[in-house]
Structure 1
Amino acid sequence: MIKQLFTLLLGSFLSVAVCAQTQLSKETQSYVTHPRGLYVLQNATIVDGTGVAAQTDQDIIINGEIIEAIGENLKVPEGATILDMTGKSIMPGMVMLHEHLFYPKATPGGTFGVSQMSYSFPKLYLAGGVTTMRTAGSIMPQADINLKNFILEGKVPGPKIDATSPFLDRDGLGILETYSLKSTKQAIEAVKFYADMGSTSFKVYNYITRADLKAITETAHSRGFKVTGHLCSITHREAADLGIDNLEHGFMASSDFIDNKTPDECEPFKQHKSLLDLPVDSPKMEALIEHLVKKNVAVTSTINVFEPYTGREVVPGGGLKALYQDARDKVYRRWASKQNRDSLDYVLFNKSKVWEKAFHDAGGLLVAGTDPTYDGRIVAGYANMRLLEIFVEMGFSIPEAIKICTMNGATYLEQADSIGSIAPTKIADLLILNGDISKDIKAIRNIETTFRNGIGYSSEKLFRAADGKVGVR
């Protein structure tokens, strides 16, 4: 009897907990066009995230937060709402692995600084089709973790978040909001501290030592978490041998090709020159790629960060209106000053395209992110849409480009059984696009609805809510 009573009470408690998790605030509800329910999306073109060719005239049944069935001319369940997808296409919600919740700013003394964007960026990411994201380095980890929970609780709209630790680095970075570790022991304690706080992945940076990286990866792995890195002092090959899980920025942060490189020392000018001097078809790069694939190290493309200026959008993806006026003016001035003066940017951009595709084609796990930092030109949401377009420029097919931005990210996060592709029993994280993305990748800029966990949000309303806010909040 006592056992039965306990089971009944536990069931009631879980039922209340589930209801609490799905109760949306008025703020969140204001962006919802399709509350969680029973839907049949009819006559859609689907690019499912697995890399295969698009399927046409498909129906999708969404029941609650789960995809229940996919196929042609499915029987409409009693009580279902029918949504006509004629002329529209559907792809999975994007799973992006190098995102941030901050934006660059001017700081005292000429240092580089950033400001937390807890209001605008979650909306922009969701509007731009991102349903799951990793914050690959934070400046306010407590804010990122709180925001992750607020989104899950329905208090604010946004993607699901894999919250990364602050940047783990030694002295030399020069970002006002970051802390410099003083010892390997301190690095170990930092991993434990932020894991206890709620961080679920870890990021090492430019000036870290090999001893630090070894200790950080061992400590993080012992807690079941992965480590990624934007490196300089440590080569990609060394990092792979020390157990790192992921390398950021394609091969643009690789210091492997510096002649007589000083161990554990970041030499940015030599690193930059070594990549400019390296032939695009270098056997040395081929050997590095082969080593990373063998070691199962994922590589994150942030190719949009390196997009040149001449003849291209001021804000890639079209998000200039999202910036507050001072930021807009600053970004525009830099863009204008770089017109026809960015030939070296083009050289490295084009090399990076080739190297990243070579890694993918060699069997490496290429994942994606936008890294909205640098000079303020890269804006959450807008940059994510633009990234897909660049992948097609790189020579990927449209299904391949979509897979990199969806299923590959889910695979890295070990969540491919529930997100990353469109399939029965998976979570209903879907993008409804006006137009046929299987024929024109630019349809990614026409997101009508972002379904996240079975709830449909208006992309237009989310974008509009952030207009003029980026750089402020």
Structure 2
Amino acid sequence: MSTLLKKVTLLAFLFILTSCQEKETIPVDLALMNANVIDLESGKVTVKNIYISKGEIKTMEDVGAETTYKADSSIDATEKYLLPGFWDNHIHLRGGDSLIANNKNFLKLFIANGITTVRDAGGDLTASVMEWKKQIANEDLVGPTIFTAGPKIDGPNSTWAGSLVVEKEEDIPVALDSLQALNVDFVKLYDSRFSGDLYVKTIKEIEKRGLTVSGHMPFTVTLNETVDAGMDAIEHLYYIMKGCASNEEEVTEKMKSGEMGFWDAMPSLQEGYTDSTAQAIFQKLKQKEVFVVPTLHIGKTLSYLDEMDHTNDPYLKYIGQGIIKTYEGRIQSAMRASEEARKNRKELDSFFGRLTKSLNTADVGLLAGSDCGAFNSYIYPGISLHKELAAMVAKGISPLDALRTSAYNGARFLDQSDSYGSISQGKVSDLVLLDGNPLEDISETENIHTVIKGNQVFGKKQLKELLESAVMD
């Protein structure tokens, strides 16, 4: 064979080989076609095809682009809106052994509402929660990814069962060693019996160990002391309000001396709120990247327990009589309250709405959390996260900013942004597909078309069946 002929033959062979390689396809598990992808960072919406395999987003491509991916199944997402699966950044799995089944049932309600991740802010069912975490990760149990604090840390004779007690300085490393042995995801501090001095020392030790900490705050310390010690997130707005009051030091001293109680301090702190003090606090929270969990929906619900009739709430059938019984304490307390106390609580609820808007305007990181769980009356797992987002928007926060407070900020707070919080190549495929645009109407977060949890896909039929299976006697 001549040299020229050999070259032509070789070139032909290489051309055929290259052509065959170009036609080879890459198999994936699932494709979402023509989805309106919402970028929570920029607020932009772009139409993309998303390819998913083994619980991970393999790539995102422009519609119409030639692709090498071939999916086992696909979803037509035309005119649908795609978001990261929602995060509820403050729930409780608790109530003792008699309520383990009820708490396990909550997991279905989260998925049915597009919530693919929850932050369990302390409880007394740690052994069960850790087992559920493992089963969910292995896809042996339907439920959201759980980041848990395990038992809370508090002082002696604490309010919540199962709390770890810090009564003296030597107890701090013992409590933290215990939590680290449990492999918790963050530390949660409570304030019912915690001395101010030990509270601050505990935060400093947590910071030293490189752990994430969130919590309440004893009124015997100032917000500045708490933030300076290394607190990463403030649960609820009472403590933010205290830091925004010009009379915070005075109230703190009265709390230390026993001259004033927690609820007695509320009207005084609300009256002492000054914009200059608040703005200084807001800037500090922003600079130190301290997140705030407003929990507006539970605040309003509990403030109006004396007026609202919840007996026909559709979600009552999902939580069971055991949980419903735990609601009685707050209900009876609300009914026994004086007219002045009822009025103050409702005024405080309105004030917290304005405070949340101010925090957002100042660019302080907010976390959407429902505070659902046993003892928190009529705050239902799943649906209450959507009510929290709607409450933020009702107070003047944009739908985009409200949406950021769920998965986007939740992932930032727990240092999970490499895997969660946005839609991009390499991220975990925890996604929710909506029938309408939540940037235009926040109530569209409830209008769920499909939930994708890793490798699991729940269409409307499966979501309906999941809710039906969650009904409890």
TM-score (norm 2): 0.79
Q: Residue 421 of structure 1 aligns with which residue?
A: 422
- Per-residue deviation at 1:195? 0.6
Name which of 86, 95, 107 aligns with 1:94: 86
Q: Residue 464 of structure 1 aligns with which residue?
A: 468
Amino acid at match of 1:100: H
Name which of 272, 283, 296 aligns with 2:266: 272
Whether 2:111 is the aligned partner of 1:126: answer: yes
Counterpart mapping for 1:73-88 below 5 A: 73-75=64-66, 77-88=69-80
Q: Distance in 1 between matches of 2:122 and 2:186?
A: 9
> RMSD in angstroms over aligned alpha carbons?
3.3
Deviates more, 1:460-469 or 1:258-267: 258-267
Q: Distance in 1 between matches of 2:194 and 2:130?
A: 24
Instruction: Tell me the alpha carbon deviations over residues 291-324 of structure 1, each in whole angstroms, 9 at most, x when there is no partner.
Output: 3223322112211110243887849995233232
- Per-residue deviation at 1:189? 0.7
8 A contact 1:232–1:255 mirrored in 2: no
- Per-residue deviation at 1:133? 2.0
Name which of 29, 40, 44 aligns with 1:49: 40
Q: Residue 229 of structure 2 aligns with which residue?
A: 242
- Per-residue deviation at 1:431? 0.6
Counterpart mapping for 1:5-404 below 5 A: 38-55=29-46, 57-67=47-57, 68-75=59-66, 77-102=69-94, 117-171=102-156, 173-206=158-191, 207-233=193-219, 234-251=221-238, 254-256=241-243, 257=245, 258=248, 259-262=250-253, 267-279=261-273, 282-308=275-301, 309=304, 314=310, 319-325=315-321, 334=331, 343-373=343-373, 374-404=375-405
Deviates more, 1:81-90 or 1:149-158: 81-90
Higher relative CO (Cα under 8 Å, sequence separation at least 6) belongs to 1
Amino acid at match of 1:148: K
- Per-residue deviation at 1:120? 1.1
Unaligned regions of 5+ residues in structure 1, if any? Answer: 1-35, 106-112
Instruction: Tell me the alpha carbon deviations over residues 343-390 of structure 1, each in whole angstroms, 9 at most, x when there is no partner.
Output: 444322222122222222223221121111444211111111211211
SS at match of 2:82: strand
- Per-residue deviation at 1:205? 1.0
- Per-residue deviation at 1:287? 2.6
SS at match of 1:45: strand
Amino acid at match of 2:223: H
Amino acid at match of 2:350: N
Cα distance change, pair 194–136 in 1 and its aligned pair in 2 (3 A)? same
Deviates more, 1:383-392 or 1:137-146: 137-146
Cα distance change, pair 316–409 in 1 and its aligned pair in 2 (3 A)? farther
8 A contact 1:99–1:135 mirrored in 2: yes
Unaligned regions of 5+ residues in structure 2, if any? Answer: 1-26
Q: Distance in 2 between matches of 1:318 and 1:422?
A: 33
Q: Residue 16 of structure 2 aligns with which residue?
A: none
SS at match of 2:151: strand
Q: Residue 22 of structure 1 aligns with which residue?
A: none
SS at match of 1:220: helix
Amino acid at match of 2:320: Y
Cα distance change, pair 462–402 in 1 and its aligned pair in 2 (3 A)? same
- Per-residue deviation at 1:203? 0.9
Q: Distance in 1 between matches of 2:311 and 2:227?
A: 34
8 A contact 2:123–2:151 mirrored in 1: yes
- Per-residue deviation at 1:434? 2.8
Amino acid at match of 2:229: L
TM-score (norm 1): 0.79
Instruction: Tell me the alpha carbon deviations over residues 128-167 of structure 1, each in whole angstroms, 9 at most, x when there is no partner.
Output: 2222222111212222222211211222111112220311
8 A contact 1:220–1:226 mirrored in 2: yes
8 A contact 2:285–2:364 mirrored in 1: yes
Aligned residue-pair number: 423
8 A contact 2:123–2:161 mirrored in 1: no
Amino acid at match of 1:379: Y
Greater fraction of residues in helix: 2
8 A contact 1:203–1:228 mirrored in 2: yes
Cα distance change, pair 79–153 in 1 and its aligned pair in 2 (3 A)? closer
SS at match of 2:150: strand
SS at match of 2:252: coil
8 A contact 1:101–1:116 mirrored in 2: no
Cα distance change, pair 312–72 in 1 and its aligned pair in 2 (3 A)? farther
8 A contact 1:314–1:331 mirrored in 2: no
